[in-house]
Structure 1
Amino acid sequence: MNDLVLPNFLLIGAEKAGTTALSRFLRQHPDVCFSDPKETWFFNRRYDKGIEWFASHFDHWDGEAAVGEGTAHLLQSEIAPQRIADHIPDVQLVCVLRNPIDRAFSQYHFYLYTGKADPDRPFGKLIREPDTEFGRDLINRGRYIDHLRRYESTFGRDQINVVLHKNLRQNPKPVVRGLYEALGVDPSYDPDVESQHNVTRYPASETVYAVLRRTWNTVAVGAERVAPDVVDRLRQFARRLVFDTSKPSMRDEDRAYLRKVYEVPNYELGEWLGKDLSHWTEPVS
């Protein structure tokens, strides 16, 4: 057990806030070892596999000072903080926070792309159904202050490092170098921050996508029993045809609704961070 290599920092979220890009910026540093793959889901969904299984994702460690892993769903997990503390109590926690309104919109379209969301149930309807599992998921992931307080009660404030998505997107180098310093590696290293990673794809037409998806579901039910690999390749091809990276506009009434939903949590988060989050009320973040 003493020979296990475990991370001394975790990138815990938020989902659809830039964690993939940040993980790639961090792993560029020669004194940083990142898990393979980035997300192991150990502390929330695969804990029964055991700590040795988790440690196997760092078999490529070669003496680097900073060792990290990045499951973006950990931020909202109620069970992960104590599990993490049981194994790596001194861990540094890193999270990227995006305007929760835009984060929810991006996640909804990610769910459309992966087939988890029903295109017949538009974003505006889902966010007004907070009692459903899907609507609750979209909304609650953006109540960052609740999740951060949960981690604070387990680890303390000094182990939590918060990055704002807007800063990471607009001026990434000082953000990344600041994290290098927090993780105990040379902050003078110059990362390549030009390339984009894990860009959300959006349906060119949600109406067309809805029709195609209904047709596809009818065909795929039988075909997957015969040739699942072929079906998966066709699914990927169809997604590339129907989706692109041109972001649709959120309806003004939906943004106004979510602005009200997040008004108090955002205010409390700003107080907790000591940061001005007024830009989260702007039309685009």
Structure 2
Amino acid sequence: MAYRVLSSRLAPPSNKLSRRFVFVFTLSLSFTYLCYSALFCSRAVMPRLPGLEEHGCVRAESAGAKKLLQKAPFCAAQQSTRTPTPPSPARNQTHTAKRQPAAQPAEKTARNGTSAQRYGNKKLPNALIVGVKKGGTRAVLEFIRIHPDVRAVGTEPHFFDRNYDRGLDWYRSLMPRTLDSQITMEKTPSYFVTREAPRRIASMCRDTKLIVVVRNPVTRAISDYTQTLSKKPDIPTFEELAFKNRSQGLVDTSWNAIRIGMYILHLENWLQYFRLSQIHFVSGERLITDPAGELGRVQDFLGLKRIITDKHFYFNRTKGFPCLKKPESSSLPRCLGKSKGRTHVQIDQEVIEQLRDFYRPFNIKFYEMVGHDFRWD
């Protein structure tokens, strides 16, 4: 069509030379147009301009421009094979975070402990502080749990004495999340005097490590009574509860405060299910005078590196008990609660001597059994 129009206007039909010129000129224009179109849409030749898409063709903003682009074969092919542009990370970051949490360093995950995927799993305990009441079990738990490889339940679960019918899954649900390299621990002092506890713990795992914090049984009984008196001021006197007949020296072994201190009887029950090497005895007296030394032996027993040392403790003269020095995350030192280090009720010295005589044979057998003299006499 272009050839006919141009030929009719530029040259008469009789002039063959002019017709050839017009034909060649028209052919050149057509060829130039095709080359320009090819070069404009070619990524290899055209530089990347702000108005170009990644596929190399001009971005079509208006409907008319889109129709023109669709007529070009190269760009039409690019349009049909184009893959959808991935969503912007800024628009979808919330959904992405829900689908796949970002990885965290192991040290940070161990400190926070809030996600199963990041911070380990809930496992049954590897070690238990099983006794004894008013011996220093809370102190041992609070001191040992500052070790980075120990995670412990703060409250007493009382699973093996009061809540056993709830099942192991319930018990596991109470545990903190731990990594494979960490020890899971809990403490319930009443386990040591519960008849069924050793068998139940052994049925869970015979390799469980057991910690028993023991203390002079006379001092322990007075401390036990002092605690009970603070809650029930109307109870009988210590002497009335401790003796069936004081003049004859008959001690009432049915009173729980007296019965707990007969350590050898309870230990014999535990040794039916556990080896003696699986039980570590902490001295309640040395825990006060040398907390770092006692905690060092606890760390050895648990197979932990000795990280808790003298630098972690100071002696609180007001409470008469060691406290943890100020941790990095707090502005104050960490001492045990008001119930720890409470001033004991004053007991007649003759009553104390009678109880010492009562406990002496039990203490001697206990020393022989565990291979250690605690020097309570």
Question: Shorter-chain TM-score: which interval?
Answer: 0.7 to 0.9
Structure with max Cα Rg:
2
**CA displacement 1:241-282 (0-9 Å, x = unmatched):** xxx93333321121012112111101101111222233x23x
Q: Equivalent residues in 2 for 1:226-237 (5 A)?
A: none
Q: Say whether the 8 Å CA contact 1:26–1:32 is kept in structure 2.
A: yes
Q: Are 1:193 and 2:313 matched, yes or no?
A: yes
Q: 2 CA distance for matches of 1:83 and 1:133? A: 29
Closer, same or farther in 2 for the Cα pair 1:189/1:107, shift >3 Å?
closer
Q: Equivalent residues in 2 for 1:121-136 (5 A)?
A: 121-129=236-244, 136=255
Closer, same or farther in 2 for the Cα pair 1:259/1:133, shift >3 Å?
closer
Q: Equivalent residues in 2 for 1:213-228 (5 A)?
A: none
How many pairs align? 233
What is the TM-score of this pair, normalised by structure 1? 0.75
Q: Are 1:23 and 2:141 matched, yes or no?
A: yes
Q: Say whether the 8 Å CA contact 2:135–2:213 is kept in structure 1.
A: yes
Tell me how large the CA RMSD over aligned residues is: 2.4
**Which position in structure 2 is the counterpart of 1:277?**
374
**Which position in structure 2 is the counterpart of 1:169?**
288
Deviation of 1:134 after TM superposition, in Å, equals: 8.9
Closer, same or farther in 2 for the Cα pair 1:198/1:135, shift >3 Å?
farther
Moved runs in structure 1, 4+ residues, more than 4 A? Answer: 130-135
Which amino acid is 1:192 matched to? Answer: H
Structure 2: runs of 5+ lacking an equivalent: 1-120, 315-322, 324-334
**Which position in structure 2 is the counterpart of 1:204?**
none
Structure 1: runs of 5+ lacking an equivalent: 202-243
**Which position in structure 2 is the counterpart of 1:112?**
229
Q: 2 CA distance for matches of 1:80 and 1:248? A: 32
**Which position in structure 1 is the counterpart of 2:303?**
184
**Which position in structure 1 is the counterpart of 2:358?**
261
Closer, same or farther in 2 for the Cα pair 1:67/1:250, shift >3 Å?
same
Q: 2 CA distance for matches of 1:52 and 1:145? A: 33
Q: 1 CA distance for matches of 2:279 and 2:124? A: 18
Q: Say whether the 8 Å CA contact 1:36–1:57 is kept in structure 2.
A: no
**CA displacement 1:153-185 (0-9 Å, x = unmatched):** 211111010011111111010210211121122
Q: 2 CA distance for matches of 1:144 and 1:185? A: 27
Q: Are 1:35 and 2:132 matched, yes or no?
A: no
What is the TM-score of this pair, normalised by structure 2? 0.58
**CA displacement 1:89-113 (0-9 Å, x = unmatched):** 1000001100000100010111111
Q: 2 CA distance for matches of 1:80 and 1:156? A: 15
**Which position in structure 2 is the counterpart of 1:234?**
none
Q: 1 CA distance for matches of 2:177 and 2:253? A: 38
**Which position in structure 1 is the counterpart of 2:178?**
61
Between 57-66 and 130-139, report the one with greater CA deviation: 130-139
SS at match of 1:58: coil
Residue of structure 1 aligned with 2:342, choices 220, 232, 245: 245
**Which position in structure 2 is the counterpart of 1:215?**
none
Q: Say whether the 8 Å CA contact 1:10–1:70 is kept in structure 2.
A: yes
Deviation of 1:132 after TM superposition, in Å, equals: 11
Deviation of 1:64 after TM superposition, in Å, equals: 4.4
Which amino acid is 2:234 matched to? Answer: D
Q: 2 CA distance for matches of 1:118 and 1:61? A: 45
**CA displacement 1:193-228 (0-9 Å, x = unmatched):** 331424547xxxxxxxxxxxxxxxxxxxxxxxxxxx
